Amino acid sequence: MQISSEAQNVLEAIKKFQPVRPNLLVENLGISEKTIYKHLARLLSENLVTKIDSNGKSFYLINQKSRDINIDPLNLADLLIEQNYIYVSPSGEMIRGLMGLHEWCIKNNTSFEKQKSLYATRLKDLGKLKRDGLISAKKRILSGTEKVFLNDVFFSDFYTFDHFGKTKLGQLIYVAKTSQNIDLIREISANIKPSILKLIEEYNIQQVCFIPPTIDRKIQIMDELKKSLNLDLTEIKIEKVTSKTKVAQKTLRKLEDRIANARTTMAVDPNQKITGNVLMIDDATGSGATLNETAKKILNITNAKIKIIGYTVVGSFKGFDVISEI
């Protein structure tokens, strides 16, 4: 790979001022706009720089990604990681697959080959806990100490595991929620919909409810999931009652506080007709308190013998620890 001395000057300027806009490079280097864009195109093609669009403006940075990460299509570990790993850099860049794991290894100063083998092995081990893509967690809900009103509770993946941090769905949920990214929410929906449809068929689900959020956001992930999943089921309306000081479930550390929070903030209209089995959907569960207390409220307004199934996209790996980030 060879670039001209002028392109090298552009590269050095990007390294010095990054993130930097092209018009500022024009002013700093005294080169025409047309020439700057020619060099930027070459630097992009050589993967020496990366372009980020922010609020309608383009910025250029030095590309920190590793190069020459080869994927062996016959290597099961490579394929598993390529399909199931996402790394989010400190600057917010989402890097998928082997490239992402390699970046994570560099950041943590650890062996790529060793971690690749370990990650694939652990991923296969965790896969044994799943049936039809779902992990059943009823035996561990509420730490096994409280009465459970759910017939079962499932999630599609753990939020984090071992020292690797967030799983693929864990990263998608976290980034989609914090960045208000509708495309990522749609990706989550496409990932989880087959498993949700299996639950609906297996448990003869006739009604659905979506757990409302506590924190106000312009784009609510549960609203977008509801639209994207487009389930042909009667919806049970639930309202989140909050005081001026809003306390999100996930900020509470003690199980009893979480139960008390769910008991006093989840409002279910008692005049609704509950006539069939119910599927409750949330984005993440830690203790399971919200799902369980809401299930209790639904059972209080019906005399019908129904089943209530809980589902969340991600759940805690260690016996329903607190998930506080989202």
Kindly report, residue by residue over 129-182, the tens digit of the pLDDT: 888 889 988 777 655 556 889 999 999 999 998 999 999 999 999 999 888 889
Task: Tell whether the model's pLDDT for residue 229 goes beyond 60.
Answer: yes
Same domain, 160 and 303: yes
Picking from 53, 55, 52, 56, the residue whose alpha carbon sits closest to that of residue 64 is: 52
Query: What is the total count of domains within the chain?
Result: 3
Residue 322: which pLDDT band, with cuts at 50, 70 and 90?
A: very low
Average pLDDT over residues 31-47: 91
Domain boundary among 15, 35, 62: 62
In a domain, 89, yes or no: yes
Two tokens, residue 66: 């590793």
Residues 44 and 84 in one domain: no
Confidence class for position 62, pLDDT limits 50, 70, 90 = confident
Structure tokens at 283: 């984005």
114 and 207 assigned to the same domain? no
Q: Across all residues in the chain, what is the average pLDDT?
A: 86
- Among residues 85, 106, 66, 95, which one has the least CA distance to residue 165? 85
The domain that holds 19 is classified in CATH as 1.10.10.10
* Same domain as 54, residue 31: yes
Q: Residue 309 domain-assigned?
A: yes
Residue 321 belongs to a domain: no
Lowest mean pLDDT among 28-32, 100-104, 286-290, 293-297: 286-290
Please report the pLDDT score of residue 138 as a whole number.
78
Residues 145 and 208 in one domain: yes
Is 326 within a domain? Answer: no
Kind of pairing, strands 277-285 and 308-315? Answer: parallel
Q: Are residues 93 and 175 in the same domain?
A: no
Question: Among 127, 152, 170, where does a domain finish?
Answer: 127
Q: Is 70 a domain residue?
A: no
Instruction: With respect to residue 71, please indicate whether it lies within any of the assigned structural domains.
Output: no
Q: Name which residue leads in pLDDT, 68 or 261.
A: 261
pLDDT on residue 74: 72
Among 94-103, 122-131, 134-143, 303-312, which is the least confidently predicted range?
134-143
Q: Of 140-154, 202-216, 261-275, 301-315, which range is least confident?
A: 140-154
pLDDT range class, residue 246, cuts 50, 70, 90? low
Averaged pLDDT for residues 91-119: 91
Q: Is residue 320 in some structural domain?
A: no
Task: Kindly state whether residues 104 and 136 are assigned to the same domain.
Answer: no
Pair 257, 297 in one domain: yes
Q: Average pLDDT of 107-120?
A: 93
Looking at the predicted structure, is the pLDDT value of residue 43 above 70? yes
Q: Is residue 295 part of a domain?
A: yes
Do 14 and 138 reside in the same domain of the chain? no
| CATH number reported for the structural domain that contains residue 206 in this entry | 3.40.50
24 burial level (CB within 10 Å; 0-12, 13-18, 19+): middle
Looking at residue 217, its pLDDT comes to: 77
Higher pLDDT, 204 or 128: 204
Percent of the chain at pLDDT above 70?
88
Least Cα distance to 182 among 226, 216, 215, 214 occurs for: 226
Would you give the end-to-end CA distance of the chain in angstroms? 44
Owning domain of residue 27? 5-62
Most confident of 212-216, 232-236, 286-290: 232-236
Whether residue 177 is found in the same domain as residue 290? yes
Binning pLDDT at 50, 70 and 90, where does residue 321 land?
very low
Question: pLDDT tens across 255-300, in order?
Answer: 666 667 767 778 888 999 999 999 999 998 877 888 998 999 999 9
Residues 207 and 150 in one domain: yes
**In sequence order, which residues have a C-beta less than 8 Å from that of residue 188 and are 6 or more positions away?**
169, 172, 173, 176, 225, 313
Quote the pLDDT of residue 65.
63
Same domain, 56 and 95: no
